[in-house]
């Protein structure tokens, strides 16, 4: 271990490392958010009660099959391979030259979406049937039931799993270096190549990855506690004024 | 007398198991009807069919003369006319007491938040839970939860209240506070259809008792008739077993 080299790497290349870390955070944050939204939508669709009528039923069945295929395919293949197929596939097969960053966001989002779809579905299934029935009983339809009663509870329950996805994304965006997205791993590789030193730059990257994941985990814990609200409630002794 | 609900030849099967076989009865405006009967006789299924949580297999349900089982009937609007109180309370876990009573009004009846809160407070006072508006369901006792659930249903200002064994999940010492609220409501002229195992309560508040057994209505009449002069052997048996 050469301490001087580490200092040198940091002082000479800190802007590159920071930009790389920023890019990593940006892609994984947006990817997690989009993936979360994809997961919610697909979870709501997949938990819809089957309609009686023929056409609506057929449509819903078809959409459900598409969603299952999506989930299985994207969970069942490595993201590094998906990145290659989507980025080079769109160029060679569809003649679309994708912006690398856009491709990166797309890949991380749909990949996260596939995992979140299952997490959300599990979250919806685990909500007590009585919650749905009470919502139907006051006249809510499926969408109102979901948005006002079920999903708020699901989101609270799956927050830890979502945070987990975020942390995984921070680490796994490193595979996007195969399509030359300038995230932290790519930048580190560049620094290492320029200096023919590998240990020190990657050690710095390692520390940066850990700082990011650790901070994100702490922030999410805090959010969870905030969402739970206070342990006790206050009685209103003069409710006439409300 | 104004008919609010008319149940005509109602049937319900789960697979091959016929749980309701040809049910016929009415609920009139301002009436308190109690449904009694042994476990498994189909009382809950009947209530759940009435507000369409279960889809009946046959028959008609007339609400103010219109059959709500017809294709084009707006079941969401219909459900707002029925207030449902469940055995397991089923308060919305993500809402506090006040918003349990306002969310349906705001989202379904499209009332303003202010109006919804005024209505909710009115009924929370009726059930004696107005001091707890900030509490979350998990912070309440069973009896308190059930009283909030009653206020939630009342806040929609329905034409009929349906109660499915509202005190069966409660510790014995909490049963009274809920029954007291229900007696109070019965006196205000609210139309109520109550499934209950509380015979004393039924005797006291009901205008009419419906005795169900094995998916049919065995006997129906005033509390006087059912409790003092039951005509059917099955009714006598049931009462002998439960009242001893
Ligand atoms: N979803 C369902 N699927 C299949 N069978 C059901 C379903 N719901 C109810 N049943 C059956 O229907 C019958 C009547 O049930 P129900 O709950 O209506 O009885 P109940 O009179 O309310 O009894 P209790 O007094 O115990 O509440 C029972 O035999 C029950 O097993
Ligand atoms: Mg029952």
On whether the CB atoms of residues B224 and B206 are closer than 8 A, the answer is no
What radius of gyration, in Å, describes the C-alpha atoms of chain A? 23
The two structure tokens encoding residue B65: 């003369």
Q: How much is the pLDDT for A238?
A: 67
Q: What is the pLDDT of residues A48-80, one digit of tens each?
A: 888 877 898 999 999 999 999 999 999 999 999
Distance CA B89, CA B152 (A): 10
Nearest partner of A137 among B73, B75, B33, judged by Cα: B75
Tell me, what DSSP letter sits at residue A177?
G
Q: Which residues of A touch B134 (CB under 8 A)?
A: 233-236
Predicted confidence band of residue A241 (pLDDT cuts 50, 70, 90): low
Nearest partner of B88 among A17, A137, A159, judged by Cα: A137
Q: How much is the pLDDT for B45?
A: 96
Q: How much is the pLDDT for A230?
A: 79
Q: Which string of DSSP letters, residue by residue, matches A116-164?
A: HHHHHHHHHHTS-HHHHHHHHHTT--HHHHIIIIIHHHHHHHHHHHHHH
Chain A's closest residue to B155, CA to CA, is A138
Helix (H) or strand (E) holding A174, with range, is none
The region, left, alpha or beta by phi > 0 then psi within -120 to 50, assigned to residue B189 is left
Q: What is the pLDDT of residues B5-64, one digit of tens each?
A: 999 999 999 999 999 999 999 999 999 999 999 999 999 999 999 999 999 999 999 999
CB B58 less than 6 A from any atom of ligand 1: no
How far apart are the two ends of chain B, measured CA to CA in Å?
36
Q: How much is the pLDDT for A239?
A: 59
> Look-up: residue for tokens 């889809």?
B55
Distance CA B178, CA B176 (A): 5
Q: How much is the pLDDT for B72?
A: 81
Alpha carbon B25 to chain centroid, angstroms:
15
Task: Please answer yes or no on whether B136 and A134 come within 8 Å at the CB atom.
Answer: no
- Strand order of the β-sheet with B208-213 is B82-85, B160-164, B192-195, B32-36, B208-213, B216-221
Predicted confidence band of residue A193 (pLDDT cuts 50, 70, 90): very high
Q: How much is the pLDDT for A240?
A: 57
Task: Please answer yes or no on whether A137 and B130 come within 8 Å at the CB atom.
Answer: no
Res A242 pLDDT > 70: no
Burial B199-215 (b: 16+ CB within 10 A, else e): bebbbebbebbbbbbeb
Length in residues, chain B: 244
The two structure tokens encoding residue A118: 């299952």
CB B196 less than 6 A from any atom of ligand 1: no
Report, as an integer, the average pLDDT of B117-134.
Answer: 96
**Which residue has its alpha carbon closest to ligand 1 atom 7?**
B14
User: Which residues on neighbouring strands pair with residue B66, listed in sequence order?
Assistant: B63
Distance CA A183, CA A175 (A): 9
Chain A's closest residue to B118, CA to CA, is A242
- Report the SS3 class of residue B25: strand
Task: Please answer yes or no on whether B139 and A233 come within 8 Å at the CB atom.
Answer: yes
pTM score, two decimals? 0.89
Q: Which string of DSSP letters, residue by residue, matches A104-127?
A: HHHHHHHHHHHHHHHHHHHHHHTS
Report helix angle A199-228 to A151-172, nearest 10: 170
Cβ within 8 Å of residue B51, ≥6 positions away: A137, B79, B82, B84, B162
**Which residue has its alpha carbon closest to ligand 1 atom 22?**
B44
Cβ within 8 Å of residue B221, ≥6 positions away: B208, B209
- Determine the residue among B74, B83, B89, B90 to mutate to test chain A binding: the one whose Cβ has the most chain A Cβ atoms within 10 Å: B90
Chain B's closest residue to A229, CA to CA, is B136
* Average pLDDT score over chain B: 94
Report, as an integer, the average pLDDT of B123-150.
Answer: 95
Predicted confidence band of residue B217 (pLDDT cuts 50, 70, 90): very high
Q: What is the pLDDT of residues A172-183, one digit of tens each?
A: 999 999 998 999
The two structure tokens encoding residue A53: 């009528």
Q: Where are the alpha helices (DSSP H) in B51-171?
A: 75-80, 97-107, 113-126, 142-155
Report, as an integer, the average pLDDT of A106-116.
Answer: 95
Q: Which string of DSSP letters, residue by residue, matches A63-113?
A: HHHHHHHHHHHHHSS-HHHHHHHHHHHHHHTS-----HHHHHHHHHHHHHH
> Look-up: residue for tokens 């207030």?
B83
> Look-up: residue for tokens 């491709």?
A103
Res B233 pLDDT > 60: yes
Task: Please answer yes or no on whether A140 and B91 come within 8 Å at the CB atom.
Answer: no
Alpha carbon B129 to chain centroid, angstroms:
20
Q: In ligand 1, which atom is closest to the CA atom of B42?
A: 18
- Strand order of the β-sheet with B58-63 is B17-28, B3-14, B58-63, B66-67
Phi and psi of B110, rounded to 5°? 60, 35
Nearest to A134 among B92, B121, B131 (CB): B92
SS3 string, B90-110, reads CCCCCCCHHHHHHHHHHHCCC
Predicted confidence band of residue B243 (pLDDT cuts 50, 70, 90): confident
Q: How much is the pLDDT for B180?
A: 95
């Amino acid at each position: 271990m050469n301490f001087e080299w580490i200092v040198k790497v940091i002082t000479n290349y800190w802007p590159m490392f920071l930009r790389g870390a920023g890019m990593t955070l940006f892609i994984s944050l947006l990817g997690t958010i989009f993936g979360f939204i994809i997961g919610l939508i697909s979870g709501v669709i997949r938990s819809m009660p089957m309609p009686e009528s023929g056409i609506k039923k057929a449509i819903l069945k078809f959409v459900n099959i598409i969603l299952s295929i999506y989930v299985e395919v994207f969970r069942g293949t490595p993201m590094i391979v998906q990145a290659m197929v989507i980025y080079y596939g769109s160029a060679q097969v569809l003649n679309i030259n994708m912006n690398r960053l856009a491709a990166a966001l797309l890949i991380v989002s749909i990949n996260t979406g596939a995992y979140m779809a299952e997490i959300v579905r599990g979250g919806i299934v685990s909500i007590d049937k009585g919650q749905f029935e009470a919502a139907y009983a006051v006249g809510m339809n499926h969408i109102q039931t979901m948005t006002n009663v079920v999903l708020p509870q699901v989101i609270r329950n799956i927050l830890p799993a979502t945070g987990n996805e975020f942390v995984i994304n921070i680490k796994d965006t490193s595979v996007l270096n195969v399509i030359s997205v300038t995230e932290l791993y790519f930048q580190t590789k560049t620094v290492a190549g320029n200096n023919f030193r590998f240990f020190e730059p990657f050690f710095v990257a390692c520390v940066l990855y850990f700082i990011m994941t650790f901070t994100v985990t702490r922030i999410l814990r805090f959010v969870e506690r905030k969402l739970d609200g206070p342990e006790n409630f206050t009685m209103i002794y003069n409710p006439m004024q409300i | 007398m104004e008919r609010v609900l008319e149940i005509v030849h109602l049937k319900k099967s789960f697979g091959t198991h016929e749980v309701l076989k040809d049910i016929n009865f009415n609920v009139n405006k301002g009436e308190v009807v109690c449904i009694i009967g042994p476990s498994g006789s189909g009382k809950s299924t009947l209530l759940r069919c009435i507000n369409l949580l279960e889809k009946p297999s046959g028959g008609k349900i007339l609400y103010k003369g219109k059959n709500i089982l017809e294709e084009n009937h707006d079941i969401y609007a219909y459900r707002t006319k029925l207030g449902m109180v469940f055995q397991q309370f089923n308060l919305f876990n993500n809402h506090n007491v006040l918003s349990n009573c306002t969310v349906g009004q705001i989202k379904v009846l499209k009332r303003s938040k202010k109006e919804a809160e005024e209505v909710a407070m009115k009924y929370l006072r009726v059930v004696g839970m107005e001091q707890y508006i900030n509490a979350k369901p998990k912070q309440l006792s069973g009896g308190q939860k059930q009283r909030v659930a009653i206020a939630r249903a009342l806040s929609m200002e329905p034409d009929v209240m349906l109660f499915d064994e509202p005190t069966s999940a409660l510790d014995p010492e909490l049963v009274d506070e809920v029954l007291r609220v229900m007696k109070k409501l019965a006196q205000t002229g609210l139309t109520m259809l109550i499934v209950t195992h509380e015979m004393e309560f039924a005797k006291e508040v009901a205008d009419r008792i419906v005795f169900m057994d094995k998916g049919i209505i065995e006997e129906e009449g005033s509390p006087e008739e059912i409790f003092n002069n039951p005509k059917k052997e099955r009714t006598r048996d049931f009462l002998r077993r439960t009242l001893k």
